[in-house]
Structure formats: C-alpha cells, structure tokens
C-alpha cells in the first residue's frame, strides 16, 4: 500500500518549469530513493511534500489525506519529518537544546517563541530527547554546541530531531553530502537500524550511488523535472536511459 501518492505535480519558477507531471508512489515501510542530475527538481519536489512550496498543479496525498494547503508544522504533525539539503540546526544552541525543539513542536504544534520557559522542569521531554540521542550514539555530545560538531554529527542530530517526532515518513535530502566515507557508512548503518526498529517509510534524495544501492528498494530517476523511470535498484543500474541521462554514459559505453 502506498503511504505517499504524488499525482501530476507541476511547479514553475518564473520562466523555468522545475517540475512537470510528476507521479510518484511510495510504498509503506519501504525505502524509496529519488535520484537525478543537479537541477533535476529533486529538492523542489521534496519542498512540495512538506508545505515549503505549493505546487501549481497536481495532488500530494499522505496516508489518504491531502497535504496541499497545510502549513509545514501541520504536515509535520500528520507524520512527515524532513532533513533538508542545507542543515537546519541552531549552531549556537547545544545538541540537547536542539533536540528539545522538535519535542516541543510534537507536543504543542506550532513552535512558540516563549516555548523555552515551558521546557524547564518538563522531565518527559528531556527523557525523550535523551532517548533519541542515545539511539543516535550522540548522548556524550549533548552539552556540545551544535556548530562545533562535524558534518556527520550535524546530520545525525538532524535525523534524531526528525525521529523525536515519531514520523511515519522520513524525507532525507542528501543526508550524506560532503561526508567522509566512514561517516557515510555510519549513516547507512544508522538508517538501516532506524528502518529495522521502527514502523517507518523513508524517501531519500541522494547523489551517492553507494548509499542509494545500499538502502533503496525502489528508485525514481528525475530528469529535467520529470520522472524518467521508476524501478528496482538492479534494473535501474542497467537502464540505458538512466546511464545516459544521469550517470553520464552513452548507451554504447559499457
């Protein structure tokens, strides 16, 4: 059964048709990768799923309900959490303080600026944040300023912040971009662990094919704002159109 259904989505920026006729169906409890060259429209599509952008045409259904017209925090409360391409953590707050933000949002909906005073003394939220940090093997870093962490740790913190909201659908936009190979491999293991231990669906945008082929059960290839092909990893690897459009190889190149 599909937990996410995208139908005929189009999005234009001025003279640029960034997405056109995008159809995407993500099966519940699967890992679905979206790949494609720079500028293919991957992040734009993700932004349309989380209320950051409103598509010009089409529909986006999550678990049978439309996400269109809802505010990002409402979509979040429906069960969709996302890690954006540009890290969205607060560098001058500690790891623990960053973790408390989604815990608050999960409980209270839209995050209120006067929210901090309400965290004090609320042991349940502190427990929840600590549990997540333990799961992510980051508990020892809870008092560290987020800005001082490595790129891999910042990404892990973002994933932990998403998981604190108990999402049913986790959207990841290039979670391993700029990471050293060891950090990338740790992230792959972490995502496998999350998948095994939770009732969760993961949609991941990624350029690193090692990550894609280690995790994905289905792959959609976007090119110039339109899905070129959707298939299993094995079939995608050998697909001539994919090799030509994305991997930079012509059909005759072996």
Q: Residue 44 touches which of Mg ion, ligand ATP, none (CB < 5 to 8 A by kind)?
A: ligand ATP
User: Where does residue 237 fall: left (phi above 0), alpha (psi -120 to 50 degrees), or beta otherwise?
Assistant: alpha
Candidates 9, 18, 43, 79; binder of Mg ion (CB under 5 A) is 43
Residues numbered 54 to 113 that lie near Mg ion (CB under 5 A) are: 85
Q: Is residue 38 within the footprint of ligand ATP (CB under 6 A)?
A: yes
Radius of gyration, CA atoms only, the chain: 19
Which residue shows structure tokens 């910042």?
A: 154
DSSP summary character for residue 147:
G
Residue 227 contact among Mg ion, ligand ATP, none, beta carbon within 5 to 8 Å by kind: none
Q: Which of 3, 22, 44, 104 binds ligand ATP (CB under 6 A)?
A: 44
Comparison of 119 and 177: residue with beta carbon closer to Mg ion: 177
Selected range binding ligand ATP among 13-21, 94-102, 187-195, 233-241, rule: CB under 6 A: 13-21
Q: Which of 6, 31, 43, 208 binds ligand ATP (CB under 6 A)?
A: 43
Residue 238: CB atoms within 10 Å = 9
- Stretch of residues binding Mg ion (CB under 5 A), selected from 23-31, 37-45, 55-63, 191-199: 37-45
Q: Which is nearer to ligand ATP, 33 or 164 (CB)?
A: 33
Instruction: Answer yes or no whether residue 39 interacts with ligand ATP by CB under 6 A.
Output: yes
d(CA 138, CA 46): 27
Q: Pick the closest to residue 4 from 190, 203, 152 (CA basis).
A: 203
Helices (H) and strands (E) in the chain, counts: 10, 10
Q: Quickly count: other Cβ atoms within 10 Å of residue 87's Cβ.
A: 15
Which residue carries 């599909």 as its tokens? 2
Among 22, 31, 33, 42, binds ligand ATP (CB under 6 A): 42
How many Cα atoms occupy the beta-carbon half-sphere of 217 within 13 Å? Answer: 12
Binding to ligand ATP by residue 55, rule CB under 6 A?
Answer: no
């Amino acid at each position: 059964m599909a937990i996410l259904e995208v139908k005929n989505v189009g999005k234009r920026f001025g003279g640029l048709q960034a997405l056109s006729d995008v159809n995407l169906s993500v099966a519940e409890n699967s890992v679905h990768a979206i790949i494609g060259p720079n500028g293919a429209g991957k992040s734009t599509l993700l932004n349309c799923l989380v209320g950051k952008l409103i598509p010009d045409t089409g529909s986006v259904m999550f678990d049978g309900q439309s996400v269109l017209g809802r505010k990002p925090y409402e979509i979040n409360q429906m069960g969709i959490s996302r890690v954006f391409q540009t890290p969205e953590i607060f560098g001058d707050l500690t790891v623990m303080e960053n973790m408390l933000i989604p815990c608050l949002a999960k409980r209270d909906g839209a995050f209120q600026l006067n929210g901090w005073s309400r965290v004090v003394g609320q042991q349940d939220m502190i427990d929840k944040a600590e549990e997540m940090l333990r799961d992510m093997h980051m508990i020892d870093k809870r008092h560290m300023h987020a800005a001082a962490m490595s790129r891999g740790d910042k990404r892990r913190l973002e994933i932990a912040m998403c998981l604190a909201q108990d999402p049913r659908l986790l959207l990841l936009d290039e979670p391993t971009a700029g990471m050293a190979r060891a950090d990338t491999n740790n992230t792959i293991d972490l995502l496998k662990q999350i998948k095994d231990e939770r009732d969760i669906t993961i949609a991941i945008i990624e350029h690193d094919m090692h990550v894609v082929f280690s995790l994905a059960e289905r792959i959609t290839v976007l090119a110039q704002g339109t899905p070129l092909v959707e298939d299993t990893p094995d079939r995608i690897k050998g697909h001539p159109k994919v090799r030509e459009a994305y991997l930079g190889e012509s059909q005759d190149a072996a």
